[in-house]
Structure 1
Amino acid sequence: MTIRNIVRYPDPALSKPCEPVTAFGPDLAALQQDLVDTMRAAPGVGITAAHIGVFERIFVLELQPGAILTYVNPQITSTVAKTMRHVEGSVSMPGFTEELERPQQVTIRFQDMNGAEHEETAEGFHAICIQHEIDQLDGIFWIRRLSKLKRDRLIRKWEKAQR
């Protein structure tokens, strides 16, 4: 069990896109376990490798206790037009949240820990989490999805709390 340090906002590394995973084996399994341990310690419901300074396309979710979902090289292949609003935050900016609007359903293609390809359609909170984590893999920190006014206000509060 290894709990890794989490990259904190405003570290520029949070804007770095991740590279595809090409090696499926013990190193990837160790990274996946570190992600789970770090996410639980944070605490959070999802975490990407980028959150711990590893710029590979992998993230884990734990939407129900004990049910770990792992996505390697995920790509959104389709979304629906209908959206939903949900409060989001990040392990890289703990304690700070804001409401965002995202498509309420997504279909993704991804690989599992053995490299096998899968396609999955997710709805509701699960879909929101997938979009949030794929954004981070693409180097899009969640606050970039906020309006300038909301983002600036949140950043000011964050900076004040860090003093």
Structure 2
Amino acid sequence: MGIRIIVKDPDPILKKVCKPVTKFNANLHKLLDDMAATMYDAPGVGLAAPQIGILKRVFVMDAGDENGLIELINPEIVEKEGEQLSQEGCLSIPGFFGDVRRFKTIKVKAQDRNGETFFMDAEDYVATIYQHEMDHLNGVLYTDIAEKVFREKESNNE
């Protein structure tokens, strides 16, 4: 597993729509392994392929819950309900956070690393991570949809 360089805003690749994955092979498995290693090293809770310069509909996430690492290929939201306002950050926009309104509960359809289709339900924080990462696959950053964006405090002395 290799750690990849995370692309930072305003790199134009972050604004591009990703292409569906059609080949489920060793190259995809290496990409997924590298993405997980990069996300954990950063550290973050999610990482989408365009954040490492790859325009494929792939992301990994780990919300720190019983599900552990989840790999999603060609994900789509098939059900959505409710609304929540939460604070988000992004590995591609270091030093900033934003208040973003998203669906409270979602059902996601995706494929695993072998091309098998699966469904997952998510709510609250986990639903936010899914939606944040899925936005990356469509060239949308949280700063594009945030109600407010603010700088992270540099230290406790400020």
**Fold conserved between structures, TM > 0.5:** yes
- 1:95 to partner: Cα distance: 2.5
Which residue is equivalent to 1:74? 75
- 1:130 to partner: Cα distance: 0.4
| Structure 1 runs, 4 residues or longer, greater than 3 Å off | none
Query: What is the number of residues matched between the two proteins?
Result: 151
SS at match of 2:35: helix
The CA distance in 1 between the partners of 2:35 and 2:94, in whole Å, is: 16
- 1:97 to partner: Cα distance: 0.9
The CA distance in 2 between the partners of 1:146 and 1:97, in whole Å, is: 9
The CA distance in 1 between the partners of 2:33 and 2:132, in whole Å, is: 20
**TM-score of the aligned structures, taking structure 1 as reference length:** 0.87
The CA distance in 1 between the partners of 2:17 and 2:119, in whole Å, is: 22
The CA distance in 2 between the partners of 1:50 and 1:21, in whole Å, is: 13
- 1:47 to partner: Cα distance: 0.2
Amino acid of the structure 2 residue aligned with 1:79: K
Which residue is equivalent to 1:134? 134
Which residue is equivalent to 1:31? 31
SS at match of 2:120: strand
Per-residue CA deviations over 1:74-108 (Å, capped at 9, x if unaligned) read 0111210x211211011101221112111110111
The CA distance in 2 between the partners of 1:64 and 1:44, in whole Å, is: 10
The CA distance in 2 between the partners of 1:48 and 1:131, in whole Å, is: 11
Unaligned runs of 5+ in 1: 159-163
SS at match of 1:64: coil
The CA distance in 1 between the partners of 2:51 and 2:32, in whole Å, is: 13
The CA distance in 1 between the partners of 2:68 and 2:120, in whole Å, is: 16
Which residue is equivalent to 2:110? 110
After superposition, the CA RMSD in angstroms is: 1.6
The CA distance in 2 between the partners of 1:7 and 1:17, in whole Å, is: 15
Q: Tell me if structure 1 keeps the 8 A contact 2:7–2:53.
A: yes
- 1:122 to partner: Cα distance: 0.9
